[in-house]
Amino acid sequence: MIERQNGSSLRAIGLRLGRSAATVSRELRRCDQAAYNASQAALSYRRRRSRCRPMKRLVAGSRLYQYVHDHLVYRRWSPQQIAAKLRQMPESIRPGLVSHETIYAAIYAQPRGGLKQAMVEALRQAKPTRGPGRKSAAAKTFVPEEPSIKHRPEEIEQRLLPGHWEGDLIKGAFNRSAVGVLVERKTRFVILCRMDGCTAADALEGFSRQIKKLPAFLRESLTYDRGSELACFDALSKRINMNIWFCDPHAPWQRGSNENTNGLLRQFLPKGTDLSIASQTLLNDIARLLNGRPRKTLGWKSPEEAMAEELAKFSSPCVALES
């Protein structure tokens, strides 16, 4: 201010301070008084700066926050599924709009506490921070010679028709219990099968019991990994009247829908859990939750809706997909 009173130009003052003339001009305008006051200018800056910050979308107590919280914690939807569903809702009833990145930011920006812990645990990976995790080594598997996935018809690969499934077991504590997982490739519809154990005979009985409840047009093929639990694949193929194809060794991406579903199931059936106590009724309830979620790959339809459309294309009587 002294230099300004001495008649120095803004450019000359800027050269002495190592700042541009525009910066000096803005600083002088921040003070409403005739004489420049640094404290008053700083206060004016902070006041204007607080007004230009965007309002938080997710504020505790708001309808939008409650909607996101309930669907995340109770219905176990992902942030992306919540954001997509909000965009599809009629404007008259939706509580607001929010992106999935904003939801993630709100979760991880929260201070430590019970609420944050509950929301983090509701996420797919339940990680305390965002980012990739460590990779585990591939397990040794039983490898039948034929049939190989390389001989599988092209229409199965393209997901053109329903009735082609991917299968696997998820193991419980100490690998002493298991649950069978079946995912339909076109609709991503999930069926869970209770198993009495982890042997090939247990897998034969468990998969047969659930697959036989499907209508004939939904029993076309099953793609499986090379796990020893499907050593009785020939007997299973005859029982359920389906072709069975095996993936290449250490190639889980060839059953991508199934691998993704296994990750989702760990929210409900964590590693280290004794899966032998899980009843078929409980497994049906978990499958219903997964099948009711909107999926990006289905144009934000749920697997339930996609499967209903496929069933409607056929004149077959209604068939129960659950026991």
Is pLDDT at 282 greater than 60 in this prediction? yes
Average pLDDT in the chain? 83
- The stretch 129-148 carries a mean pLDDT of 57
Residues with Cβ within 8 Å of residue 257, at least 6 apart in sequence:
166, 183, 185, 188
In a domain, 201, yes or no: yes
In a domain, 209, yes or no: yes
Residues 158 and 292 in one domain: yes
- Proportion of the chain above pLDDT 70, given as a percent: 82
- Proportion of the chain above pLDDT 90, given as a percent: 47
Residues 180 and 236 in one domain: yes
Residues 237 and 269 in one domain: yes
Residues with Cβ within 8 Å of residue 273, at least 6 apart in sequence:
172, 173
In a domain, 127, yes or no: no
Which residue's entry shows tokens 């047009």?
217
Single out the residue in 105, 122, 139 at which a domain terminates: 122
How many beta carbons lie within 10 A of that of residue 97, not counting itself?
Answer: 13
Whichever domain contains 182, its CATH number is 3.30.420.10
Residues with Cβ within 8 Å of residue 227, at least 6 apart in sequence:
141, 142, 168, 169
In a domain, 113, yes or no: yes
Residues 173 and 97 in one domain: no
Q: How far apart are CA 274 and CA 11, in angstroms?
A: 76
- The stretch 113-142 carries a mean pLDDT of 59
Its domain, for residue 216, covers 149-312
Q: Tens digits of per-residue pLDDT, 163-197?
A: 999 999 999 998 899 999 999 999 999 999 999 99
Is pLDDT at 314 greater than 90 in this prediction? no
Q: Where are the alpha helices (DSSP H) in 53-95?
A: 63-73, 79-88
**What pLDDT does 170 receive?**
94
Residues 159 and 257 in one domain: yes
Residues 112 and 201 in one domain: no
Residues 206 and 307 in one domain: yes
**What pLDDT does 213 receive?**
93
Single out the residue in 122, 138, 159 at which a domain terminates: 122
In a domain, 135, yes or no: no
Residues 39 and 172 in one domain: no
- pLDDT band at 18; cut points 50, 70, 90: confident
| Cα–Cα separations (whole angstroms), residue 60 to 53, 68, 249, 273, 278 | 18, 11, 49, 34, 36
**What pLDDT does 20 receive?**
87
3-state secondary structure of 74: coil
pTM of the model: 0.64
Residues 184 and 112 in one domain: no
Q: Which long-range contacts (CB under 8 A, 24 or more apart) does 74-77 make?
A: 75/289, 75/293, 76/122, 76/267, 76/268, 76/289, 76/293, 77/293, 77/294
- The stretch 29-51 carries a mean pLDDT of 72
Beta strands in the chain (DSSP E): 164-171, 178-184, 190-194, 221-224, 243-246
- Interstrand relation of 221-224 and 164-171 (parallel, antiparallel or unpaired): parallel
| Cα–Cα separations (whole angstroms), residue 53 to 23, 158, 174 | 21, 48, 52
**What pLDDT does 322 receive?**
44
In a domain, 131, yes or no: no
Q: How far apart are CA 229 and CA 193, in angstroms?
A: 14
**What pLDDT does 135 receive?**
53
- pLDDT band at 138; cut points 50, 70, 90: very low
Are residues 81 and 303 in contact, defined by beta-carbon separation less than 8 angstroms?
no
**What pLDDT does 146 receive?**
62
Q: Tens digits of per-residue pLDDT, 191-219?
A: 999 999 999 999 999 999 999 999 999 99
- pLDDT band at 116; cut points 50, 70, 90: low
Residues 108 and 242 in one domain: no
Highest mean pLDDT among 5-19, 106-120, 213-227: 213-227
**What pLDDT does 1 receive?**
57
- The stretch 48-55 carries a mean pLDDT of 73
The DSSP secondary-structure symbol of 5 reads H
Q: Taking the CA of residue 25 as centre, how many other CA atoms within 13 Å lie in the half-sphere pointing to its CB?
A: 6
In a domain, 10, yes or no: yes
Q: Is the peptide bond before 294 cis (omega within 30 degrees of 0)?
A: no
- The stretch 152-168 carries a mean pLDDT of 91
* Number of domains the chain is built from: 3
Residues 80 and 176 in one domain: no
Q: How far apart are CA 71 and CA 267, in angstroms?
A: 14
**What pLDDT does 262 receive?**
93
How many beta carbons lie within 10 A of that of residue 268, not counting itself?
Answer: 17
Is pLDDT at 319 greater than 50 in this prediction? no
In a domain, 132, yes or no: no
Is pLDDT at 31 greater than 90 in this prediction? no
Are residues 188 and 306 in contact, defined by beta-carbon separation less than 8 angstroms?
yes
Residues 40 and 21 in one domain: yes
Which residue's entry shows tokens 């450019």?
11
Is pLDDT at 129 greater than 70 in this prediction? no
Q: Tens digits of per-residue pLDDT, 221-268?
A: 999 988 888 888 889 999 999 999 998 888 888 999 999 999 999 989
Please report how the helices 100-109 and 79-88 are oriented relative to each other, as an axis angle in degrees rounded to 10.
130
